[in-house]
Structure 1
Amino acid sequence: MRLLIMSDTHLPRRAKQLPVPLLAELPHADVVFHAGDWVDTATLDLLESRSRRLIAVHGNNDGPELRARLPEVARAELDGLRFGVVHDTGPARGREARCAARFPDLDVLVFGHSHIPWDTTAPTGLRLLNPGSPTDRRRQPHRTYLTATLADGALTDVTLHRLPQR
């Protein structure tokens, strides 16, 4: 199973559309995750129409229409792994312990908000993944997103994709 993981698209504030390389990944993804801060409903509509399965949440920059359509926390079991998605996990310091305590029933937590790519594992085994942002790198060297493979209950080939400078 191929996973496509993104967050903090902030359209149309930070870019006019999703980057072409990211859009090219959609037909290959069995599941698309979006960890919030869409800003516009058009991007949600696009991903809903072009994704086989979308697991998504709203973020702090998302208005009432997006909040009405998306939860604050989403959960799904895929191939025996328990996934969760949330926008903000708080400061980097203490993140693993804080998330492991808040989400003891998960194997993988996808989050966003910081625009900083993150891939760590808490002592409890909870894997934390932040794809960064494909449209707004802020102080990061690149705009980014993640892909991964899920097979036989194992998450493998977690790859951070760096998008070319605009």
Structure 2
Amino acid sequence: MLIGVTSDTHIPTRAIHLPSKLVKGLRGVDLIIHAGDWDHIQVYDQLKQLAPVKGVYGSNDDESIRKHFDKKIILSLGDYNIGVIHGDGGKRKDTIERCIQSFATERVDMIIFGHTHLPYYARHAHTLLFNPGSPTNKKKGQKNYSFGMIELGPKIAAKHIFFKGN
């Protein structure tokens, strides 16, 4: 199974539309996962034209998004359980600690999160943590925009796709 992963699209506040590099990269995937901060339901409408979409709401999402998505989900895909959360909330822990704590009582093989706009890939115990970054709003000092691709097979293979601009 091939999964496209994005987060922090912030449309229309940070960009007018989905970048063509993202749209092209997501063509042909079996599923798209969005880790929140869509900003407008039109992002969901555009993504579902490419593949089925699952996701969560983020800190900047209003009621039009929140009525369609939960704060946190676990997807059972083949032999894997994948947790998805935006990662915002509270100042006492950093985003990664919040994400790990959010799924502490559940068995997940991978946690997909957003919020920081920073691409991230690391293992914590037996769990892979993955932030696709943002395809529309890179942070200061970042050279590229990004999204992610995951292939579920005998193992979980995840990678970032980096691009300069539209």
Q: Give me the TM-score of the superposition, normalised by structure 1.
A: 0.88
Moved over 2 A (4+): 92-101
Q: Quote the Cα distance in structure 2 between the aligned partners of 1:87 and 1:93.
A: 10
Per-residue deviation, residues 80-110 of structure 1 (Å, max 9, x unmatched): 0001110016515746753562x53111110
Correspondence list, 1:1-80, <5 A = 1-51=1-51, 53-80=52-79
TM-superposed CA distance for 1:49, in Å, is 3.1
The structure with the greater share of residues assigned to helix is 1
Instruction: Write the distance in 2 (CA, Å) between the matches of 1:93 and 1:63.
Output: 24
Instruction: Using the aligned pairs only, state the percent identity.
Output: 29
Say how many residue pairs are matched: 161
Matched-pair contact (CA < 8 Å) for 2:109–2:127:
yes
For residues 92 and 65 of structure 1, the distance between their equivalents in structure 2, rounded to whole angstroms, comes to 25
Matched, 1:132 2:109: no
In angstroms, what is the RMSD of aligned CA positions?
A: 1.9
In structure 1, runs of 5+ residues without a counterpart are: none
Aligned 8 A contact 1:109 1:128 in 2: yes
Residue 77 to residue 137, structure 1, CA distance change in 2 (3 Å): same
| Corresponding residue to 2:94 among 77, 91, 94 | 91
Contiguous gaps of at least 5 residues in structure 2 = none
TM-score normalised by length of structure 2: 0.88
| Secondary structure, counterpart of 1:23 in structure 2 | helix
CA distance in 2, matches of 1:105, 1:57: 19
Structure-2 change in CA distance of 1:150 and 1:8 (3 Å): same
